[in-house]
Amino acid sequence: MKKILITGGAGFIGSHLVRLFVNKYPDYQIVNLDKLTYAGNLNNLRDVENASNYEFVKGDIVDAKFIYELFDKYQFDGVVHLAAESHVDRSITNPNEFIMTNIVGTANLLNAANRIWADNQDGKRFYHVSTDEVYGSLGETGFFLEDTPYDPKSPYSASKASSDHLVRAYHNTYKLPVIISNCSNNYGSYQFPEKLIPLFIHNIKNNKPLPVYGKGENIRDWLWVEDHARAIDVIFHGGKDGDTYNIGGHNEWTNIDLIKLMCKIVDQKLGRSEGESEKLITYVKDRAGHDMRYAIDSTKLQNELGWTPSLQFAEGLEKTVEWYLENTDWLENVTSGDYQKYYEEQYQKR
């Protein structure tokens, strides 16, 4: 039985990946290591928590001793590393958490994998899940390719870029069997409502202002989270050691067009009159250093491994809106407690 460590498996993308691996690979033992920060939530995994090939371990990747002991105990065959601080706005107010988890935490995992695989790297794989934000910001044209030079602009993207460099350095220096993917913006169920799509669905539903940064003209390339999880699966199993794969949806939207579409869908679902929720749109102070445009070219992944996104955006966004409108207990649970404080601090000053 292969033992696979998934870090950050209680978060948004991690929980979708854990679900996919636990269901699809009954012969793998999946160990989900997560610190359960504000973004980690075991309610994201209720449907698989009792599966015989699944185990949850609470722990911090920044704790090197704990990580060494965990690797010694389980002797993992593979690692899929998603644990991270992931929200750009939080990285602007508190960069140190990002430096610790995203850089030091990744280094601890690399050291531990390097140690237990020192004598035999056959069939082993360290998969690092990264972001398109490491490439910086695009102008009106062009796409991020796997060899686009790194140019991270926020503390979050700089910390992810640092971790990517470490992963490649361990491959070059120690021949650690690594693989990296850089993905565009994900959307779907179980995303913490600090990110644009779940936050705005939540606010539209509750008739709260919709805080659009700057002019709302920034562009993001949106991909359904389950398509990202499928891409990780095909890359983990079929990708080449030492390689990088870009993952994206070829689905670019200005924030303001996307926000208007969300207003329209929620209004339809809640039986409100057309255009009613657009009145909630409020232009606020821009994000510091706000990247203008992200757009991924995922031709390599499509050509080499046959992956393509499965879902059209119109369908995916509608499903996503329905999920957040239906799963009120999940939303109430994650927006109680510290969330209110975060929200006030983040948005009052704008």
Binding site for ligand NAD (CB under 6 A): 7-8, 10-14, 34-37, 39-40, 60-62, 82-86, 101, 105, 129, 131, 160, 183, 185-186, 192
Residue matched to tokens 């409502």: 193
Q: Which of ligand NAD, ligand DAU, none has residue 248 at its interface (CB below 5 to 8 Å by kind)? A: none
CA distance 228 to 186: 8
The residue number whose beta carbon is nearest to ligand NAD equals 11
Shortest distance (Å) from residue 87 CB to ligand NAD: 7
Report CA Rg, the chain: 20
Shortest distance (Å) from residue 91 CB to ligand NAD: 11
Is-catalytic flag, 257?
Answer: no
Nearer to ligand DAU, 29 or 255 (CB): 255
Active-site position among 133, 221, 252, 291: 133
Q: What tokens were used for 107?
A: 């280094």
CA distance 243 to 229: 18
CA distance 173 to 170: 5
**Contact footprint for ligand DAU (CB under 6 A):** 86-88, 131-133, 184-185, 195-196, 199, 211-213, 218, 220, 255, 287, 294
Active-site position among 127, 156, 170, 245: 156
Is-catalytic flag, 156?
Answer: yes
- Residue 290's CB is within 10 A of a number of other CB atoms, namely 14
Q: Which of ligand DAU, ligand NAD, none has residue 255 at its interface (CB below 5 to 8 Å by kind)? A: ligand DAU
CA distance 317 to 320: 5
Is-catalytic flag, 133?
Answer: yes
Helix axes 12-24, 225-238, angle to 10 degrees: 60
Shortest distance (Å) from residue 299 CB to ligand DAU: 18
Shortest distance (Å) from residue 173 CB to ligand NAD: 23
Nearer to ligand NAD, 81 or 264 (CB): 81
Nearer to ligand DAU, 16 or 87 (CB): 87
Q: How many CA atoms, within 13 angstroms, populate the side-chain half-sphere of residue 104?
A: 12
Q: Which of ligand DAU, ligand NAD, none has residue 17 at its interface (CB below 5 to 8 Å by kind)? A: none
Shortest distance (Å) from residue 87 CB to ligand DAU: 5
For the chain, the residue count is: 350
- Residue 276's CB is within 10 A of a number of other CB atoms, namely 15
DSSP 163: H
7 SS3 class = strand
Active-site position among 77, 85, 132, 221: 132
Which amino acid, 240?
K
In sequence order, what are the beta bridge partners of 246?
Answer: 182
Active-site residue numbers?
A: 132-133, 156
